[in-house]
Amino acid sequence: MENTIINPIFKDIVTFTKRSSETGGKYSTCQVKLFTTGKNVAHIHKKYTETFQPLHGNLGVWVGGKTIIVKPGETFTVPIGVAHYFFNPGSESIVFDIVIAPGFEGFEHMLRILYGMARDGKTDKEGLPKSLALTALVAEIGDTSLPGFFVLLAPLLRFLAKRARKRGEEQRLMNLYCSQTPSALIP
């Protein structure tokens, strides 16, 4: 499986540097190159923290309603259960590391699926699957939930994810995006 994936919607390149399986589940790490105006969507993790460590350029992190600028040499950890997203606040590409603790293989699969779907034109302008059922399923795979209005929809989203699993969507997505040859991952 290739270590590098690209998301044209989030405007970033992610390279997995340590998978959860390589650390005995203690952590997962990846390095992100985020282009100008790049960002992901607000989300929440319930099983793991996410630590950001900028290497080149300042990283913007929106967390719990506040914007924080993290500079090279600094780290910032988003606690479990707190809504957040990251963004590039500057006019040049930035590079930063992400540490997920404890490691979570589902996070890695979620990114591969979302990035593959974005590449294939199967996501909306925010980078989420066009199908609400697939959004729910991919979020469950990665232990990620969406804040705001989506919190009210949680029971419906769990139902839709369960139905999608029964239809074989999880296995289809895993086969399509998590078991590809390296040449298929990079456009």
92 part of a folded domain: yes
Using CA atoms, how far apart are residues 72 and 79, in angstroms rounded to an integer?
20
Task: Give every CB contact of residue 81 below 8 A, 6+ residues apart in sequence.
Answer: 44, 45, 46
- Nearest-angstrom CA–CA distance, 7 and 13: 6
In this structure, the answer to whether residues 17 and 93 fall within a common structural domain is yes
Residue 8 lies in a domain: yes
Cis bond before residue 102 (omega within 30° of 0): yes
pLDDT in tens, 93-134: 999 999 999 999 999 999 999 999 999 999 999 999 999 999
Determine, yes or no, domain membership for 187.
no
pLDDT at 51 over 90: yes
| Interaxial angle between packed helices 154-166 and 132-141, expressed in degrees from 0 to 180 and rounded to the nearest 10 | 90
In a domain, 112, yes or no: yes
pLDDT band (50, 70, 90) for residue 34 = very high
Task: Check pLDDT > 90 for residue 179.
Answer: no
Cα gap 162→51, rounded to integer Å: 30
Tokens read off for 44: 């929440």
Tell whether the model's pLDDT for residue 182 goes beyond 70: no
Evaluate if residue 183 carries a pLDDT over 70. Answer: no
| Same domain (yes/no): 165, 117 | yes
Q: What is the mean pLDDT of residues 83-98?
A: 97
Q: Which domain holds residue 133?
A: 106-182
| pLDDT over 80 at 180, yes or no | no
Reported as a pLDDT band with limits 50, 70 and 90, residue 185 is: very low
pLDDT given for residue 1 in this prediction: 64
Q: Is 135 helix (H, G, I), strand (E, B) or coil?
A: helix
126-177 residue pLDDT tens? 999 999 999 999 999 999 998 887 778 889 999 999 999 999 999 999 999 9
User: Cα separation of 116 and 175, whole Å?
Assistant: 11
User: Average pLDDT of the chain?
Assistant: 92
Sign of the CA dihedral with 45 first, then 82, 71, and 6 last = positive
The residues with which 12 forms a beta bridge, in sequence order, are 7, 34
Q: Higher model confidence: residue 86 or residue 152?
A: 86
**Residues across the chain:** 187
